Amino acid sequence: MLKPQILLAAICISVAAMAQTYPFQDKSLSPEQRADDLISRLTLEEKTALTLNASEAIPRLGIKAYDWWNEALHGVGRNGSATTFPMPIAMAASFDDALVEAVFTAVSDEARVKHRIADEAGPIARYQGLTFWTPNINIFRDPRWGRGMETYGEDPYLMGQMGMAVVRGLQGPDDSPVRKLFACAKHYAVHSGPETERHRFDARPTRRDLYETYLPAFKDLVTKAGVEQVMTAYNRFEGQPCSANDYLIDTVLRGKWNYKGVIVSDCWAVADFYIKGRHEYVETKAEAAALAVKYGVDVECGHAYQAIPEAIKAGLLTEAELDRNLKRVIIARIRLGEMDSVDPWADLPESIVEGPDNKALAQFVAEKSIVLLQNKGILPLAPDVPVALIGPNADDTTMQWGNYSPIPKETITLLAALKDRQKELKYVKGCGHLDAAEPFDGVLAALDGVETVVFASGITPFLEGEQGDAGGFPGFEGGDRTVIELPQVQRDLIAALHEAGKKIILVNFSGSAMALEKEAACCDAIIQAWYPGQMGGLAIANILYGDCNPSGKLPLTFYASTGQLPDFSDYSMKDRTYRFFTGKPQWVFGYGQSYTTFKIGRVHVKGGNVVVKVRNTGKFDGDEVVQLYISRKKDKDGPIRTLRAYKRVFVPAGETVTVEIPLTEETFLWWSEKDQDMVPTHGRYVLQVGSSSAKEDLRCRRYRF
């Protein structure tokens, strides 16, 4: 143990060092100048520490500890209580960019408050920083993928629009000298299952599929929204790991798109380079670290970068290459105000975290995201109609939260919401997600005297999700699904209820498309509720009783059966998603019913805009989502049709509104063999405007661009 006088002397030296002013602490200098000065003062070991997601403090220079790893998929995640919004796949069903931006503005407000509290308490630990690893903008190409619920669906355009809204909400104004937060476009690139193969899979899409489907959302976030982080994926691309890939990083991201921000690896992805049974791309940790640094991965989530000094000593890497990356890391921390303890949002009160305004927003978003798939006249329910509630998801709070979630203080389940509507509500769980809870005879007996049954069906994030977090049951594998139908016990109970003469309102909870072909035949109504967040039960009840009119639209295809799906591991887009699927799905992308009816008039082009009239021909006020698709008949390898714009409009009952959608060069981005990219392409197109992607729901007009 040090003698008291020696310890005191050491403390005095440390305090004196911290009191000294260095150029990197001068806020009048540019972040670039400050970063250069700081790098010149760091040892190799200190430089290495700053490239790890869990960056240790450097007391002699007054640099605080910082952890880059934070989550905000649909609320400030994994850091105690916070407002829990619906999962991204649900928010995508709103087809409302402004609403999504409002959600993530609320999330960033709560994030700043929680960061301030953590910073005052001590060193910043995991899930307390200002660098959030969201949104997930990988294309949901196959409904079996467990993490698809984290995304905004199967369409590249919708994904890009929603992703940019997330970035705007999280990062705040572009012209602010201090960024509110950093968002992150992940996982770059060509990453959407199977989860069990992600650490060794080699994705080899065609160049057309790459640029037409897998890259557009990333390009949007980088070149238009100014996303500050990009996370590399676990898998390989054309033989090289995505975290050491010259085409994806050098040619496209840093080259074509001129990306200047931070690149971060997915967690322990760099270790996949050398771990046996994974990529086995190199043999040692030092080789893996050297490759990732050389290819411009600035921050590693994991421990492989601990071998950077060894890699430099062995001549595998130069310190100049490390400094190039480190400069981006330091600039980022300066721009967040983190290194200067500057917080323009310091006045945000703690009361906003899961406060009444944000919970009301969570409920509103859930209402806008719920999709009415089928209604044989039973909905909306009259207040005096007795109903019974049954099913495994009727009273499951954690199911409603989804994954990467906060832990809200309050969650309103469907059971709680319906009990407020009917004090004598009959509730029987009936069955679990996969197994029977009790004999069906007993269930039917308990429901005696009630004609209308609300069945809360579906699965949970404990069955579908990320590798290691879910799966392992019949019909599920490693987080993914192997079949997309409802679990058999639920199908059997629904059939038994139908045979007993019950009117069934199916409320399905899932983060992915379900095949409900048989259920559609025996249910009087079907609602897709997704994982609707903490206020989800109240939102569903409001839909069931007509307090709000359903207006959500499917952001992905609901296939009729598992048999309609191609090989899960095949990354070709042939016969995948509404853009290329040639079969007959159960419900198409963009589909969703209302309690009213809409008529979309003829398509006109005036002054560079598509112009249509939308008339509400029913008895309820409601929202319609007007969708613009384009196609080129001569392109036999191209999409059947592809979304290029959408607009949500409110139309009072009996009234008509005029909708204008601008036609721009980006409307006519099309694959060019010559350019090997998507470019504005002149020629003949078919403009298709309607309420879904189904041919029968679209009004068409030929157009030459």
CB 580 within 8 A of CB 637: no
- In order, the DSSP letters of 617-654 are -SSS-EEEEEEEEEE-TT-TTS-S-EEEEEEEEEE-TT
The catalytic position among 154, 464, 623, 624 is: 464
CB 538 within 8 A of CB 407: no
Give the tokens for residue 652.
Answer: 């009072």
CB 487 within 8 A of CB 467: no
CB 172 within 8 A of CB 179: yes
Euclidean distance between CA atoms 705 and 701, whole angstroms: 12
3-state helix vs strand vs coil in the chain, percent to 5: 35, 20, 45
Euclidean distance between CA atoms 401 and 403, whole angstroms: 7
Give the tokens for residue 690.
Answer: 């309607």
The catalytic position among 96, 110, 195, 266 is: 266
Count CB atoms within 10 A of the CB of residue 603.
20
Closest listed residue to residue 147, CA positions, set 386, 479, 460: 479
**Beta-strand pair 609-616/656-662:** antiparallel
Active site residue 266: yes
Give the tokens for residue 202.
Answer: 């080699």
Cα angle for residues 542, 544, 548 (degrees, 5° grid): 45
Q: Which residues pair with 55 in a beta bridge?
A: 66
Euclidean distance between CA atoms 150 and 216, whole angstroms: 18
Count CB atoms within 10 A of the CB of residue 652.
12
Give the tokens for residue 460.
Answer: 């949970």
Kindly give the interhelix angle for 156-171 and 216-223, rounded to the nearest 10 degrees.
Answer: 30
Euclidean distance between CA atoms 202 and 250, whole angstroms: 19
SS3 assignment, position 554 = coil
CB 478 within 8 A of CB 471: yes
Euclidean distance between CA atoms 177 and 335, whole angstroms: 7
Count CB atoms within 10 A of the CB of residue 350.
11
Q: Which amino acids are annotated catalytic? A: 266, 464
